[in-house]
Structure 1
Amino acid sequence: MATFRDNPYGAFNFLVALGTGAEETVVGGFSDVSGLGFEVSYSEYRNGNEKFNTVRKVPNTHKVDDVTLKRGLIGSTDLFEWLKTVRDGTPEVRQVSITLLDEARQPVATWTLRNAQPKKWTGPTLAAKGGGEVAMEELSLVHEGLEYK
């Protein structure tokens, strides 16, 4: 997939697949994806007979960050309906993938969120001040693992 090169890839060319099974159907493109990350926790441990008077760091569990997707409001209720389904007691986990594309729109990197579920939907901020802003919606996702290839 990713090919090493001198110039970094642009962050403006990507696809988001929400794991609905209909990946060829695009319903509104996302303008922002944030929160791709994870952190490993470490425990401190020291033997009584250690030569150096310091603790060792032993890796244990890891935690993943929530991922936020943003897009212009297009009249589709798919994101809101997914969260509503969970709210009403029917968890719907999905494998969400974010694919970075190069200038020729070829995939160069993919991040997959394992067992993603919606956590929070935020609707647009509406203001009658005559600006040219776009009405945006956000969806925050929790997940159980991040894979990168």
Structure 2
Amino acid sequence: MTGDLLAQQRHLYEVLTACRFYVALHLDGSRDDVDGYFMESRGFKYSQDVITHTEVFPKKWGKATRGQVIRTKLPGNNNVDNFSLRRGLMASTTLWDWIATVNDGGWASKFKNGFLTIYRQDGSEGARFAFDGAWPVSYSITDNLASGTDLAVEELEIACEGFERVL
């Protein structure tokens, strides 16, 4: 077995830690390929509704001579929850400009695509999740004290139409 193949196999079984990731947003008018690096991501959740179909058949059921109930579960609509991104407050206004454009009625043209990338211990990509049709839902910054030493943090909640694992 070659060294490259052995390294690839080891990567398949490596546990990816939650502390090595960033979220890349690609927004109109950006000067850089990545509009934000975030220290926390919450709420990436996919779910699917369950439809229960119930039918009554003329088969024997228990002590009854007919009336057997058969339930079948079928997949329903897909759901993708909103997710939140947190980072230290930056001087850049790129995220705020995106919010302002959506607020001014330009939301249909401001749906964006992006990625959540989780890295291996050696710094290479371990997993990548692509999201599409995203737009900002809310924005907040932490409370600030003149006597405090904590980092000012901004949080952005984003709605998206879908996400999938691409790596």
Q: Which residue in the other structure is 2:4 paired with? A: none
> What's the TM-score, normalizing by structure 1?
0.86
Q: 1:12-49: per-residue Cα shift (whole Å, max 9, x none)?
A: 11121102276954555311011111110011111221
| TM alignment of 1:73-112, pairs within 5 A | 73-91=89-107, 92-112=110-130
| TM alignment of 1:43-62, pairs within 5 A | 43-49=51-57, 53-62=69-78
| TM alignment of 1:4-15, pairs within 5 A | 4-5=12-13, 7-15=14-22
Q: 1:98-132: per-residue Cα shift (whole Å, max 9, x none)?
A: 1111122111101111111111111231123x332
User: Please, which runs of 5 or more residues in structure 1 have no aligned partner?
Assistant: none
> What's the TM-score, normalizing by structure 2?
0.78
Q: Which residue in the other structure is 2:150 paired with? A: 133
Structure 1 residue matching 2:105: 3-state secondary structure: coil
Q: Which residue in the other structure is 2:65 paired with? A: none
Contact 2:57 2:69 in 1 (8 A): no
Greater Rg over alpha carbons, structure = 2
Contact 1:28 1:74 in 2 (8 A): no
C-alpha distance in structure 1 between counterparts of 2:163 and 2:55, whole Å: 34
More helix by share: 2
Change (3 A) 1:90 1:139: same
Q: Which residue in the other structure is 1:36 paired with? A: 44
Contact 1:66 1:141 in 2 (8 A): yes
* Equivalent pairs, count: 147
Bigger shift: residues 101-110 or 54-63? 54-63
User: Please, which runs of 5 or more residues in structure 2 have no aligned partner?
Assistant: 1-7, 60-67
Q: Which has the higher contact order (CA 8 A, sep 6+)?
A: 1
Structure 2 residue matching 1:139: 3-state secondary structure: strand
1:17 aligns with one of 15, 24, 48: 24
